[in-house]
Structure 1
Amino acid sequence: MLQSAKLKYIFPIGFFLSLFLDGSINLIFSGSLFAYPYSMVSNLTILWLVLGIFFEGETNLPIATWAAGVGLVFDWYYTGVFGVNMFILPVMVLLIQWVKVFYKPTFLSILLTFFLALTLYESAFYIVFEMVHYTTITSSVFVAYNLAPTLALNLCFFVILYLPIKSLFRHTRGANFRSID
């Protein structure tokens, strides 16, 4: 019981920390990440979201609510277009929670889910910004110069951070933690 109470505090702290780490990484390494014509965007927030959904177990964290809150902060702090992330992130949570019941949570299945979630997130973000005329690039340019490099960067982050985040959740879950390969 005490272990799952820890998780109720650690999850939102990690969620907001990943949000601000995204901004810091993008700012500090902007010369490398945004070298014309390529654009790589750090998405540790999506990584934390996906791993949190898979590693929460029976704790039943209000992840969709936290996702809406983080989305609102993201919209307010980074984009200035309110409602985009506040809508996209909770929808992603619901989709990932629906999909995760169909297979055993292994490294590869979680990696594939993260890949698909990140693709969905970036594509939805692009579509919304295309609709409100905040971007003028074509979809093929978006895929080649924005989506592909972003996926490559974040898959590297996934491989590096998977075990530390898994052990953090395992430690805070204690005896209630279901076996995850």
Structure 2
Amino acid sequence: MAFWQLTRLRVIYPVLLFLILFVDGTFMSSMGGLFTQFPWHILPTLTLGWLFLGVQFDVENELPLWFYIVVIGILFDMYYTGIFGTYTFAFIAAVAVMKQLHKVLDERLVSGLLLYLAGLLIYLLISYVSGFVTGIANVSMLSFLLYEVLPTVILNLVFAAASYYPVWSLFQFLR
């Protein structure tokens, strides 16, 4: 592999990760009326989706993925919540689960969506538990599962399925 090809992935992946962090919030802000209609609360997790695509297409072999996960988690905490550690830990745990499952699953679309589903569930569960512990979340587990987890999973799996092959093509080009 030529140096310029390795450099392209090392530059473009973190730049897009940083941009997606802000697109995530902008998307929620602009579509908030639709995503938070009573009783639903849908979270677009584009940042976690980009990390999933990095795990699925093995970018860790070419760049320090764990460093970017920690940095983006800290930025996510600072920018969106103001509570340090919640989403940093959620990103780390979700990616760790996805990396372990990636050893068992292959790179087909359905396997990738199962991988993303596991990471997304871990991410949402950690955010719920931390919100419950700090007193921010005061909904029952059943309400959380029906009105937040289920629609969030559906939306994000559709996003992941729609972006799977275009991102795969991008990573093939960058390598």
Q: Normalising by structure 2, report the TM-score.
A: 0.93
Tell me the matched-pair count: 173
In the aligned structure 1, how far is the partner of 2:89 from the partner of 2:60?
25
Q: Give the unaligned 5+ runs of structure 2.
A: none
Counterpart in 1 of 2:152? 150
Q: Which of residues 21, 24, 39 is equivalent to 2:41?
A: 39
1:1-181 matched pairs, under 5 angstroms: 1=2, 2-56=4-58, 59-173=61-175
Q: Is the 8 A contact 2:90 2:122 kept in 1?
A: no
Q: What's the RMSD between the two structures over aligned residues?
A: 1.3
The structure 1 segments of at least 4 consecutive aligned residues displaced by more than 4 Å after TM superposition are: none
AA of the residue aligned to 2:29: L
Q: Normalising by structure 1, report the TM-score.
A: 0.90
Q: Is the 8 A contact 1:40 1:150 kept in 2?
A: yes
* Residues 77-128 of structure 1, C-alpha deviations (whole Å, 9 max, x = no match): 1111111112221232222222211232111111110111111101111011
Q: Give the unaligned 5+ runs of structure 1.
A: 174-181
In the aligned structure 2, how far is the partner of 1:58 from the partner of 1:122?
24
Give the % identical residues. Answer: 31
**Bigger relative contact order (CA 8 A; separation at least 6):** 1
Q: Is the 8 A contact 2:54 2:60 kept in 1?
A: no
